[in-house]
């Protein structure tokens, strides 16, 4: 305030010094606690559209479903199509349509958990919106994040979209059954993953043909046992 | 377009703190290694504050460069992007700067 006439001439500076995504991070923490209390292992799946996320999930549910409860949250901008595919496997599923939104956030997952109420001890897959940029910034409360990349995409994708790969505990290279028909250098792709995230594990699978899927299932088992992946608390 | 979600978070936090007082300027800190495009964030901020006490406020962006520390050779390295590679050849690089995404302060009348 001005000392001469008392007018409000000078603005007051208020310090905030808080993370922009503090609210999302707090909600994610609440989700994480809620999931842990029920012994639910949540995995956040991120990829470009068309990498085979839903096909990998259908196969995973068929293979693991008989031994443990599996539940799915499907994120897409529009349509319940993916949820319908998952529902046909007999697995409980909730579809979130983000409309104009390009990613899921912690609040959306919290609301989906209210509706889904995953069984105690279940494996929860959260299929994020097909997009390798925006989902990387938003912690949902998952135990770990997985990026799925298919061999019909470029082997240089980890360098082009480093943020998603940098926060992943596992990179799944999918559609390896198509390797004879496409120019995709798996070794080069692995090098690029290491360049942006030396800690990430990498598995090569074909979700349609079933190649090497036990490596994916092993990673999930290890994650539950606490010997793979990492928490995302920031 | 996650910048809109980020700008909405900033607007919400600022308006809550302002408690009805008009906001003239908001300062944020953005690291070079975050997936945030400053121009997009500025555009979205203008939209996010429309009709609030921060309508028309300037958004000042403090940029933070990417930097890391190499666990192999012990040197500090500049990181222009997220490729965590030290000139010594090691990939054992810990990011020390560049991931900031913070609301620093605001000016109110």
**Which pLDDT tens digit goes with each residue over A33-72?**
999 999 999 999 999 999 999 999 999 999 998 999 999 9
- Closest of A42, A45, A48, A66 to residue A56, by C-alpha: A45
Which of residues 21 through 50 in chain A touch B, CB cutoff 8 A?
Answer: 21-24
Per DSSP, the three-state class of B58 is strand
**What percentage of residues in chain A have a pLDDT greater than 70?**
93
pLDDT (0 to 100) of residue A42: 97
**In the predicted structure, residue A228 carries a pLDDT above the cut 90:** no
Asked if B38 and B7 count as a contact pair (C-beta separation under 8 A), the reply is: no
Q: What is the mean pLDDT of chain B?
A: 93
B15 annotated ligand-binding residue: no
Here the CATH number for the domain that contains residue A217 is 3.40.50.300
Q: Break chain B into its structural domains and give their ranges.
A: 2-65+98-108
Look up residue A163 and give its DSSP letter.
H
| Structural domain harbouring A115 | 22-224
Q: Which residues from A are below 8 Å from B9, CB to CB?
A: 20-24
Mutate to test the interface with B, among A9, A12, A16 (most CBs of B within 10 A): A16
Does the pLDDT of residue A136 top 70, yes or no?
A: yes
Interface touch A11/B12, C-beta < 8 Å? no
Over residues B9-31, the mean pLDDT reads 96
CATH class of B2-65+98-108: alpha beta
pLDDT exceeds cutoff 70 at A7: no
Whether A196 and B82 lie within 8 Å, measured CB to CB:
yes
CA dihedral A200, A44, A226, B90 (to 10 degrees): 20
Which residues, 6+ apart, have CB-to-CB distance to A86 below 8 Å? A54, A57, A58, A61, A72, A74, A93
Q: Please compute the mean of the pLDDT values over residues B37-51 and round it to a whole number.
A: 94
Q: State which H helix or E strand residue A48 sits in.
A: none
Confidence class for position A6, pLDDT limits 50, 70, 90? low
* Domain assignment of residue A14, yes or no: no
Residue of B11, B82, B100, B104 to mutate for A, most A C-beta atoms under 10 A:
B82
- Pair B61, B32: CB distance under 8 Å: no
pLDDT score, position A234? 37
Whether the CB of A18 is below 8 Å from some CB of chain B: the reply is yes
CA distance B29 to chain A (A): 9
Does B101 contact A16 at a Cβ distance shorter than 8 Å? Answer: no
Mean pLDDT of B47-57: 96
Q: What is the pLDDT of residues B60-80, one digit of tens each?
A: 999 999 999 999 999 999 998
pLDDT of residue B35: 84
Whether A131 is in a domain gets the answer yes
Gap between the Cα atoms of A194 and B95, Å rounded: 15
Inside any domain, residue A230: no
Element (H, E) at B65: none
In a domain, A3, yes or no: no
Question: What is the per-residue pLDDT for A63?
Answer: 96
Tell me the sheet residues that pair with A127: A45, A74
Which one of B17, B91, B107 has the shortest CB-CB distance to A198?
A: B91
Domains: count for chain A: 1
Q: Is residue A167 part of a domain?
A: yes
* Residue A40 forms part of a structural domain: yes
- What is the C-alpha separation between A121 and A71, in angstroms, rounded? 11
Please give, rounded to a whole number of angstroms, the shortest distance from the CA of A57 to a CA of chain B.
26
Residue with tokens 């949540």: A42
At residue A232, does pLDDT exceed 60? no
pLDDT for A97 beyond 90: no
| Coil vs helix vs strand at A148 | strand
């Amino acid at each position: 305030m001005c000392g001469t006439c008392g007018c409000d001439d000078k603005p007051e500076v208020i310090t905030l010094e808080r993370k922009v995504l503090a609210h999302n991070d707090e909600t994610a923490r609440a989700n994480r606690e809620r999931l842990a209390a029920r012994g639910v292992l949540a995995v956040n799946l991120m990829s470009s559209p068309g990498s085979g996320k839903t096909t990998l999930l259908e196969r995973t549910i068929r293979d693991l479903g008989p031994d443990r409860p599996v539940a799915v949250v499907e994120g897409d901008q529009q349509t319940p199509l993916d949820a319908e595919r998952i529902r046909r496997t007999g697995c409980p599923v909730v579809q979130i349509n983000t409309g104009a939104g390009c990613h899921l956030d912690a609040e959306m997952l919290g609301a989906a958990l209210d509706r889904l109420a995953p069984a105690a001890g279940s494996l929860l897959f959260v299929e994020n919106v097909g997009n390798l940029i925006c989902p990387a910034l938003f912690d949902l409360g998952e135990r770990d994040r997985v990026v799925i990349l298919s061999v019909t995409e470029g082997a240089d994708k980890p360098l082009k979209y480093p943020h998603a790969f940098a926060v992943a505990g596992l990179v799944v290279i999918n559609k390896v059954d198509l390797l004879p028909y496409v120019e995709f250098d798996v070794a080069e792709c692995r090098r690029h993953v290491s360049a942006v995230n030396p800690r990430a594990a990498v598995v090569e699978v074909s979700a349609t043909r079933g190649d090497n899927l036990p490596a994916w299932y092993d990673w999930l088992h290890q994650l539950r046992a606490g010997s793979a992946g990492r928490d995302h608390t920031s | 377009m996650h910048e809109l979600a980020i700008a909405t978070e900033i607007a919400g936090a600022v308006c809550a703190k302002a408690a009805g007082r008009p906001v003239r300027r908001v300062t944020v800190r953005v690291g070079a290694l975050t997936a945030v495009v400053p121009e997009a964030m500025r555009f979205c901020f203008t939209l996010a504050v429309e009709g609030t006490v921060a309508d028309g406020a300037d958004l000042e962006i403090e940029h933070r460069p990417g930097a890391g520390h190499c666990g192999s050779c012990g040197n500090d390295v500049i990181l222009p992007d997220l490729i965590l590679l030290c000139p010594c050849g090691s990939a054992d690089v810990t990011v020390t700067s560049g991931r900031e995404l913070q609301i620093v302060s605001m000016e109110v009348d």
